[in-house]
Amino acid sequence: QVQLVESGGGLVQAGDSLVLSCAASGATFSTYDMGWFRQAPGTEREFVAAISWSGESTYYAAPGKGRFTISRNNAKNKMYLQMNSLKPEDTAVYYCAGVADLTGRPKSSPSDYDYWGQGTQVTVSS
């Protein structure tokens, strides 16, 4: 099974950028579809973006489309989320998630993933 550790969160101002990283270990990362989710206080965990095992396919939720970019480097066992033009409503704990799957099926539900990191806090001030 894979272990996931997020990093890169922090406190930024509206309009700033951040890059979140997710480091994977303990499994063959290149066989895992990966995703980013976020959860603000009092809300359910919501889908942010996903990337297929090969990196060829990416999917975005509407709030981040055009502002966020998901990517991965299988040689480094890492996944990234580049977040630009951040807004206060982007404030949340961001989680990376993974599932061993080579089907290429788009995955946007938390139930699609088997493994989760501990989360990293992103706070955007206005």
* pLDDT score of 104 more than 80: no
C-alpha 104/C-alpha 89 separation (Å) is: 30
CA 7 to chain centre: 11
pLDDT, mean of residues 41-50: 97
> Which of 20, 47, 52 shows the shortest CA–CA distance to 36?
47
How much of the chain exceeds pLDDT 90, in percent? 93
Q: CB under 8 Å to 79, separation ≥6 — which residues?
A: 21, 22, 24, 34, 36, 51, 70, 71, 72, 73, 96
66-95 burial by CB neighbour count: b if 16+ within 10 A, else e? eebbbebebeebbbbbebeebeeebbbbbb
* pLDDT score of 77 more than 80: yes
22-33 pLDDT per residue, tens = 999 988 999 999
pLDDT of residue 22: 98
C-alpha 38/C-alpha 51 separation (Å) is: 16
